[in-house]
Each structure stands twice: as C-alpha cells, then as structure tokens.
A and B are shown apart, each in its own frame.
Chain A
Amino acid sequence: MDTSSTTMKTSTKNNLTSTSNMEHVAAFDLISVEGYRMDGRKSDELRQFRCLFNTMSDADGSCYLEHGNCKLLAMIYGPYEGRSNQEQAVITCDFSMTQYCVSERRLKTYGDLKSQKIQMSIQRVFQQAILTETYPKSQIDIYLKILQSDGNDYCPCVNATTLALINAGIPLKDFVCSSTVGNIQGKYIVDLNQQEEQQQTPKLTLTIMPQRNEIVSLSCESRVHAITYNDMLDSATNACQQLFSSMKQAVIEQLKTSLNLLHDN
C-alpha cells in the first residue's frame, strides 16, 4: 500500500484522474489472462441469482434472495393504519445483519452508521417507486436481514425489497434494480463480490427503474475519467437490465404457480 501511494505522489496531475495507474495498485490479479474473474465469472456476468417467495407466513410479503454468496431476507408488513395523517403512505425500513454474516463475528449488528445509511437510502428509493398515494394515512414497513454478506449489501437489499413488495401486492411504478460496476485492470466488471469490492479501484452503484429507463439513485465515490464514467454507467445499466429479466422471470413463474393452484382448486 505504501508503494502505491508514493507512485501516486510522483505521478503528474493528469495521471491521477486516469485509471491506468490504478492497475498496479491491485496486489494480485483479479482477472486471469483468459479474462475470467476470481470466482470464474466473465467480466459482464452477474452472480447466480436465486429467489424464493412467501418465505415468512407472518409477513404480508416476503422474499429470500441469493446473489452468489450474499443471502438475505426481505419482509414487508403493511400497508396498515399508521399514526401519521399524511396524504400518502409512510415507508419505514429496518436493516440488520446477523452476527455471523461476515467472517469476523460482530456483537453489535444494528444501528451503526452503515446500516443507518442503507435504511435511509432504501426508504428514499422506495418512497419514489411505490405509488404511495394509493394508501393515505398508512404505513409500510420493510425489514431486511442479511444472513450472509458478500461485499456490497445495498444492491441485494434493493432487489429483495422490490421482490417482496411485489409479493405483498403493493403497487409499484416499476421494478427497482440495483447493481454495481467496478473498473479493475482496465476492464469493467459488474456485480462485484467482496474480494473485488475491497480493491482500491473506482466503483459505481446504480439503481434504475428498467422499464421506464429512469435512474433512481447513482453513487460513485471515487474519481474517474469522464469517458470511463460513461462506460461504467453503460455496463451498470446492462447489468441492471440483466438482473431485471431474471427478477421478472422469477415473479412471473411464482405468479403462474399461485394462479394455477387457485384455478385447480
């Protein structure tokens, strides 16, 4: 790490904005010569997506989601009559992690800055996505529980919440899909796992409504070149669209089975 910082200092100002210098920062090769990543994926390949609906019988809508090694539960309670007297529904979000979800055991698993940040952003994203005016004076609670963490928690949380809301039958403007993209060794790789997430390379998190082509939230906390940025945005959009098609397929399959059951009875 020390050597990298000295090279940064000695380099000219222009080099700081270019990403070519970043290649040497990575301690080991994340992408093989053949173009495969550490976990065997291609650069534009998403982690394995799997989801189950109605996992919690008590909740109005629930979803268990797997993004590769990331596993989480999303539960929706409501809409029920809330205390607020607003014209539109109030959305609350509660994000928590299990003690065993990361390699090091953590005793305090809620209320820290990171989970507060996720709670706030989920709340804001879904305040936009849910047709809140359908439920005046009511409240919708979102509960998220990470069972196993794998790098970025925010993206799987958004995707799981979307699926759980659809499962609960709450009217949404559109799906909300979220994905990350990173620029490692000059390649744009999507849906970063923990190993890739920890690299000192530019990362971008994008949340979109895929059928309306609207960006709901976008965050990029590192300095990137304008051209790189546009390419990153493009590949993030592609990743979200890929994710959307698998989410849609899962929803329709669930719909078919439940409606067929109804029809048979």
Chain B
Amino acid sequence: MSSYYCVPGDRLCPADSARPGPGTYEKQGCIFASIAGSIKLNLSENELGAVSHNKNTSNNEKPIITVVREEHQLAVPTVGLLAYCKITHVSPRFVRCNMFAINNQPLKSICHGMIKREAIDSNNKDTVECSQKFRPDDIVIARIISLGDSNSYLLSTAEPELGVVAARTSTGETLVPVACCKMRCPKTNIIESRKVAKIQNDFIEETER
C-alpha cells in the first residue's frame, strides 16, 4: 500500500500526464483529489492488453490516477459473489446466517442471509434435511443468488465447492472434514454430518479476485 496520503483539494498532477479516476476531479488542467485517502496509479487496461493497436490515441497511454479510501467499506453484497457467513438458526425449511465478508473483503456491517432447503445441495434435493447439513455457528461459504426480500439475501450452497469450511462439535472441538457430507472430531472420532465445501485451488483464486 502506498504511503502517499492526500486530502480533498490536493493537486495531484497535471491533466496531460494522467486521467482522473474515482476520488479525483479535473479543473484548470490539473487533477485534484476529492476524497481523503491514499494515491494509486493504475495502468489503463488497453495498455496492458494490445498496445500496438491504439497508439495514435494518446488517451489510452495515460495511467489512471485514483484516490482509495479504506477498501473494506467498498464491499457490497451483489448477486453472484461469494459470501462468508456464520449460521445462526437452523429450521426444517431454511437456514439463517449472518454474512460477514464478501469476496474476501469484510463487510462494514453484518448482512442477514437465508439458505433455503432446496438450495443447500445439488443432489437429492427433496430429501435434504437442514439439521443434517448445518449447525449453528458453522462458518460457511455460499453464493448470493438473489437480493431477496427486505430482511435477508438469498444464498445457495448447491455446488461442490460451497458449504461448511469450519465447524466445531458441541464440546468445542474443531471438526476435520473426511467426506463431502461428513466431518470427524479428532479426539472422540465421532462423525457428524455436514455439507462440506470441497475447496479447490482455482476456487481460492476466485474468492481472492
């Protein structure tokens, strides 16, 4: 992270050496900061890709200058993104949870989510029992499938990569995943059933995007 901080009204650079991005504005041939934050220079996408095509237009060669505030406040629940959530309530028809992070960015405030019974697992949809898939206090990765109603977002774990990533037994021991629907306590060897997430490498890249 750059250590250059700026405040609104700071003159950043002349307008012909960069393009104003978010958090900046242009006036009288100069680029000024409009919010307080740290300064970042991004090379434009055209430049990173095919440079040779657009050499005649000088606009594409300029980097974009932006001012970035605290990044974690930018996370907003959007359809299609992955959410980290903690199960709060399990009922026969649905599971309620609190989302605390979206795509590896913590949320400013906790958002309420709901996983319906049909959206828990992709196979044997009709015979799913919520209590056999999640327990309160499990940490779950789920995909936001709809903005839902005013109370909660709708989530889904109907993919092999989605589901419980961390869980504890009733005595507080950390469970270890052994199969796609089983987790074992390392001390007592008791098997508990969960919808376990099968985390793969390319999936980790997606969440870190």
Contacts and interface: CB of A to CB of B under 8 A. Distances in A.
Secondary structure of the A contact surface, majority rule: mixed
Contact of A175 (B7, B23, B38): B7
Interface stretch (B29-37, B42-50, B85-93): B29-37
A194 interface: no
Given A131-B25, A166-B36, A251-B36, A173 B8 contact: yes
A175 B37 CA distance: 14
A13 interface: no
B70 A166 contact: no
Given A166-B7, A248-B7, A251-B7, A171 B71 contact: no
Contact of B71 (A131, A211, A262): A262
A212 to B, nearest CB: 6
A210 B8 CA distance: 11
Contacts of A209: 9
A166 B1 contact: no
A209 B7 CA distance: 13
Contacts of A174: 8-9, 32
A87 B47 CA distance: 33
A164 to B, nearest CB: 12
Contacts of A255: 5, 36-38
Given A166-B35, A172-B8, A174-B8, 9 more contacts: A131-B34, A169-B36, A169-B69, A172-B9, A175-B7, A210-B9, A248-B7, A255-B5, A258-B70
B14 to A, nearest CB: 16
Given A259-B38, A263-B1, A169 B25 contact: no
A169 B73 contact: yes
A256 B37 CA distance: 9
B8 A166 contact: yes
Nearest to B2: A259
Interface in B32-66: 32, 34-38
B35 A259 contact: no
23 contacts: A131-B25, A166-B7, A166-B35, A169-B36, A169-B73, A170-B35, A171-B23, A171-B34, A172-B9, A173-B25, A173-B32, A175-B7, A210-B9, A211-B9, A211-B10, A251-B7, A251-B36, A252-B5, A252-B7, A255-B5, A255-B37, A258-B70, A262-B72
A211 B158 CA distance: 55
Most chain A beta-carbon neighbours within 10 Å: one of B8, B32, B36, B69: B8
